[in-house]
Amino acid sequence: MIRRSGQLSGALGTLSHLFPFSAFELPPISIRTLVPKLYDILMGLHGNELVAVKGWPTLEHVGEQFILSARRLAPTHPSCISSDPRGGSIISFTSSPFSKPLTTLEFLHADTNMKVLAILYDGKEAALQEPRLLGTTENKLGIADWLQKEGHEFIGDGLDTTLCVQHSIYIGRQVSSSKEGPDSDFQKHIVDAEVLITTPFHPGYLTKELIEKAKNLKLCITAGVGSDHIDLNAAVDHKIQVLEVSGSNVVSVAEHVVMSILLQVLVRNFMPAHEMIERGDWQVSDIARNAFDLEGKVVGTIGAGRIGYRVLQRLVPFDCKSLLYYDYAPLPAAAAQSVGAVRVEDLKEMVSQCDVVTVNCPLHEGTRGLVNDELLKHFKKGAWLVNTARGAICDKDAVARALKSGHLSGYSGDVWNVQPAPKDHVWRTMKNPLGGGNGMVPHYSGTTLDAQARYAAGAKSILENYLIGKAQEPANIIVGLGKYESKAYGQR
């Protein structure tokens, strides 16, 4: 949770004892916008008089001597912030840039807390041994370290404190991997959480029904890329902002796609070869009969966004016969020309030409179940399919049937329609007629240690911006206040 200063209106009584009011017309405002607006109040002070303020001037009126900080109002004039045992906070200026010295401003705490709920996966022993596994319950996206480095106070599980203009996050029971069922930490705490942080790798599925119960929820942060675990239409209706760390793992996923095409299961028939060695066998012909070169093959991507385009870039050196893409919007001419990519406007036509198809589009109403029995009929017999986008884009039973029959030579990916995948999920054990063709792994392509550093930093930045009322990076915003801000989820 985050203890924060109360509504500005709660401080007016204290201010009125310090300064005579000539006119004061301001709405109540929370700590997330209190700090920058406080500048505007202070800039209106002349001696001991608070002049009329109607509406908020922009920060440009404040001047370069001020910075947006919860701990320092005037960097060239030292200030001291201390706690009051009565539950308030005192800001006293030892020197002042104003015409007359300020005495004391007191901001009383409101009787409320802000709860930040994080649903992450348990890293267990690996996370204890490797602190760079930031996306785990043990390492908490590095938020605790961030608070300490920024001079904020980190509070352990179950404790309480008062804090002045600083923020304090209570990380403990509110950081959990428990997310399934009404008794899970997720469903119990979402009802009064203001901020939800989760990842695509162990997502808390925020349904319309849960959103309707989450009366305080204002912000959902996806630490990574892909926010389909949230009912985005319901988020729009309830004016809940949804942000993700755009671009944080696109390189990681693109590299995984190329690895899957070459090694893991598909063109080179690598997995059966490795399993043969583990068994102690050695029969080269059993492997070579289904091993091919990538050179001269046709590869197509469903989706040519940040990941799909990087896949195309990485395939250029392999001298494929052609690189195709299917997307609702064409690539810029220069981008398409640089990789030699050709857009095919009909999906069935594209897959009918491809030796390898890779899925790199987001999951939304238009792509759920996109790769089904009907579309698979148009695939080349013996084609390979890679899906590192979302499991639900591919019909699991249709894919299993196509692989078992040999219509698909291989299916590789790390995304499942439910995560973690049930132990009896058909994708865990499905094979082609030659006993290979399965390259499924846990959802980890986008959570390399490098990617975790990027999406942890991005999640922290989003949360920090929210706390101080700073505008978010436009590329990170999926749902703004009551409307979609991104076309990535089918909102054309």
Residue 414 is labelled as binding a ligand: yes
445 known member of a binding site: yes
Here the tokens at position 53 are 């303020």
202 is known to lie in a ligand binding site: no
- Check the annotation: does 366 bind a ligand: yes
Q: Does residue 424 have a known ligand-binding role?
A: no
CA 382 to each of CA 3, 21, 141, 477: distance values in angstroms, whole numbers, following the listed order: 59, 80, 42, 40
Q: Which of 176, 201, 465, 223 is nearest to 193 (CA)?
A: 176
- How would DSSP label each residue in 403-414? HHHTSEEEEEES
> Does residue 407 have an active-site annotation?
no
* Residue 265: closest CA among 381, 359, 399, 356: 356
- How many Å is the maximal CA-CA distance in the chain? 92
Is position 452 annotated as part of the catalytic site? no
Contacts of 414 (CB under 8 A, 6+ apart): 256, 388, 440, 441, 442, 443, 444, 445
443 annotated as ligand-binding? yes
For 345-393, the DSSP string reads S-HHHHHHH-SEEEE----STTTTT-BSHHHHTTSPTTEEEEE-S-GGG
Question: Strand 383-387's sheet: what is its strand order?
Answer: 341-343, 322-326, 298-302, 356-359, 383-387, 408-413, 438-440
- Given the DSSP bridges, would you call strands 322-326 and 298-302 parallel, antiparallel or unpaired? parallel
The residue annotated as part of the active site, out of 174, 417, 419, 432, is 419
The pair of structure tokens assigned to 457 is 């930093």
Catalytic residue among 166, 249, 360, 476: 249
The answer to whether the annotation marks 363 as part of a ligand binding site is: yes
Catalytic residue (choose from 229, 443, 452, 454): 443
Annotated catalytic residue 387: no
Q: Binding residue per annotation — 307?
A: yes
The verdict on whether residue 444 carries a ligand-binding annotation is yes
CA-CA distance, 463 to 299, in Å (whole number)? Answer: 40
419 in catalytic set: yes
Q: Which of the following is catalytic: 202, 256, 390, 454?
A: 390
Burial of 404 (0-12, 13-18, 19+ CB in 10 A): middle
* 255 in a known ligand binding site: no
Judge whether 369 is annotated as a binding position.
no
**Residue found under tokens 């703004």:** 480
446: annotated binding-site residue?
yes
Known catalytic residues? 249, 390, 419, 443
**Residue set of the binding site for substrate:** 225, 249
**Residue set of the binding site for NAD(+):** 306-307, 327, 362-366, 388, 414, 443-446
